[in-house]
Amino acid sequence: MEEKNGLQRNNSEENELNLSDIFRLVKTNWLWFVVSITICISLSVYYIKCTPKQYACSAAVLIKDSNDGASGMVSEAAAFQDLDLFNTTNSVDNEMLVFKSKTLMQKVVQRLHLDLSYRMQVGLRHVEQYRQTPLQLHFLDANANERFALTAKPLNDKQVNLSAFDYDTEEDHSAVNLNAMYYDTIQTPVGRLVVTPTLYLTE
């Protein structure tokens, strides 16, 4: 019993010694701990403020089989599908192939104008203005494979400023600065375009 008590006393002394060493280390270098914590918190806040928000959506499509009269035959053929005796084609598979087709995706992108991105600087973050953009830009000479960017700034209810042209060419167009009227056809380094205001311009 005395040996056990002695061992417990030694362990407690070692624990106290270790805790005291840690406390002495923290007390001696307290400034570095405060600076490190402050920098980490500042970087975290900056990252949260700068990172654009991302959203996700999903949808379900109900496909009704038009071959109601042949439902009995289809069900009987499906019984042999595992045996590979019959190769039946399901209308649902056909519709899924249509949804995945590139032609349909291109039509959706063109109809919803998903090939254009309108962003506004709000604080440190660029906020997407898909349905609430104050200006709409119509590129008359744009090609589907081209990629370019520019900055449009409303001056008043009649004029707009176009600048910071970024185009995939060897020439530098970043210094080009244009003032134009709404609804006019404007010749720019990225081709002809027309700027039209929306109802969100007054906000």
Question: What are the tens digits of pLDDT across the range 17-54?
Answer: 577 777 777 778 888 888 999 999 999 988 888 887 77
- For the cut 60, the answer to whether the pLDDT of residue 62 exceeds it is yes
pLDDT higher than 80, residue 14? no
152: left (phi over 0), alpha (psi -120 to 50) or beta: beta
**What is the token pair recorded at 50?**
């700068």
Name the residue type at position 202.
T
Give 126's strand partners.
121
| % of the chain surpassing 70 pLDDT | 78
| pLDDT attached to residue 85 | 47
Longest dimension (CA), the chain: 99
DSSP state letters, 129-140: -TTT-SEEEEES
Residue that wins the pLDDT comparison between 142 and 1:
142
Q: What is the pLDDT of residues 125-140, one digit of tens each?
A: 778 887 788 888 888 8
Query: Which residues pair with residue 128 across a beta bridge?
Result: 119
Res. 74: pLDDT tops 60: no
User: What mean pLDDT value characterizes the chain?
Assistant: 77
Alpha helix locations (H) across 88-200? 91-99, 102-112
What pLDDT does residue 50 have? 83
Residue 26: what pLDDT? Answer: 77
Average the pLDDT over each of 76-80, 96-100, 129-133, 195-199 and give the range with the smallest value: 76-80
Half-sphere exposure of 173 (CA within 13 A, CB side): 18
pLDDT in tens, 151-176: 889 988 889 999 888 877 777 777 88
